[in-house]
Amino acid sequence: MDDAVPARAVRRSLDDVAFRTVSARASLRTRLRNLTSRRELLSSLITSDIRIKYKNSALGILWSMLTPALFLVIYYVVFSVFLQNGYPNFALYLFSGMVVWNMFQTALQSATGVIVYRAGLVKKVSFPREILALANVGASVVYFFIQIGVLVLYLLILGHAPQWDFLWILPFAFLALYFFTAALAILMSAITVYMRDMEHFIVIVLQLWFFMSPVVYSYEHSIAPQLHNHGLAWLYFMNPITLIMLTFQRVFYVATTVHSTIPPHGILHMLPTWPMSTYFYLNIGLVGVMIALFLFAEAVFGRLERNFESEL
């Protein structure tokens, strides 16, 4: 990966803000304060990551809109014509979950090896090293909102209205997604400095994780109903991505139960029939847990970064 552009961004940002050496023994509060003081550096790195990705591309960042739009068309054709499963507007259900998964997967995969790839920058310039991982998460957030734009455009084409009274819960679901992704990105970027195989291992983990999340199947066809019968439904929601996806699907897909479009024409349970208050309280609780996980990741990163220079 080319470090020239990020290196210039780092030096330019360090000229704009007070230079502070980040000590490996800095307290968690100090580390958070250092992060907030380097907002311009983070912004510069996010911009440079996006610029490098689309360098010499004629359409540039428009590819981030065209690619999900093409996949949405493919989903529509495949599940409406070739693989009819009885779920009406299944492409919309699928894409509502995919926007969440794409942000999580893209950020985690790119952040896992970022400190190793930018070893030269880490050795030459003193700055909060976790910013490198957070920059990858920030770039994924940009792509996430572009994909949300594609999803909204698809809703307009279908004439399908979202669940307006649930819409205000989405920011809480997004915050939970962001802090969860950022926490794992910070942890994995530090661990990979010591265990280089982690970069390949995370690809396998994410493939398994994808099928543990409610993307390609409905709530009815997950293991949640069976677990619920034994009082173990909470196990299904130990995966934080599950609740976040269900919230996005509830807002954009809307329907909790639908009638099958193919024989036998029965009722299909797509999503949990929770009231709005349940979605709200669950997401608020998840945000709190994910913020705690983020603080834990920061503390662990502070301990692991002490020997970065010698390991790199």
Residue whose token pair is 């819960």: 169
Per-residue confidence (pLDDT) for residue 83, from 0 to 100: 73
What is d(CA 275, CA 299) in angstroms, rounded to the nearest whole number?
37
Q: Are strands 267-269 and 257-259 parallel, antiparallel or unpaired?
A: antiparallel
- CA-wise closest residue to 130 among 187, 177, 198: 187
* Residue that the structure tokens 């014509």 belong to: 81
- Cα distance between residue 84 and residue 262, in whole Å: 8
pLDDT at 21: 40
**E strand or H helix at 111, and its extent?**
helix 90-112
Q: Which of 146, 140, 152, 61 lies closest to 101 in space, CA to CA? A: 140
Per-residue pLDDT, 59: 67
Question: Which pLDDT value is given to residue 229?
Answer: 65
pLDDT at residue 7 in the model: 53
The residues near 89 (Cβ < 8 Å, ≥ 6 apart) are 158, 160, 253
Residue 108, pLDDT score: 95
Q: Give the pLDDT of residue 102.
A: 93
User: Amino acid letter at 176?
Assistant: A
DSSP letter for 128, please: -
**Residue 18, pLDDT score:** 36
DSSP 8-state code for residue 258: E
Give the position of tokens 């609780």: 285
The pLDDT of residue 285 is 96
Q: Is 268 helix (H, G, I), strand (E, B) or coil?
A: strand
Of the candidates 183, 195, 191, 180, the residue with the CA atom closest to the CA atom of residue 304: 191
d(CA 1, CA 218): 39
Distance of CA 117 to the CA centre of its chain: 21
For residue 92, how many other CB atoms are within 10 A of its CB? Answer: 23
Q: What is the pLDDT along the chain (312 residues), one digit of tens a residue?
A: 455 445 555 555 544 443 334 444 678 888 888 888 888 888 898 988 888 777 766 666 777 778 788 888 888 888 777 777 778 888 899 999 999 999 999 999 999 999 998 888 888 878 888 999 999 999 999 999 999 999 999 999 999 999 999 999 999 999 999 999 999 999 999 999 999 889 889 999 999 999 888 888 887 777 776 666 666 677 778 899 999 999 999 999 999 888 877 777 788 888 988 999 999 999 999 999 999 999 999 999 988 888 887 776
Task: Specify the pLDDT at position 231.
Answer: 64
What is the value of pTM for the model shown?
Answer: 0.87
Q: Which residue bears the tokens 């809307």?
A: 254
- Asked if 243 contacts 237 with a C-beta cutoff of 8 angstroms, the reply is yes
Produce one character per residue of 163-174: b if its CB has 16 or more CB atoms within 10 Å, e if not: beebeebbebbb
Q: Where are the domains of the chain?
A: 4-311
Q: What is the DSSP string of 75-89?
A: HHHIIIIIS--S-TT
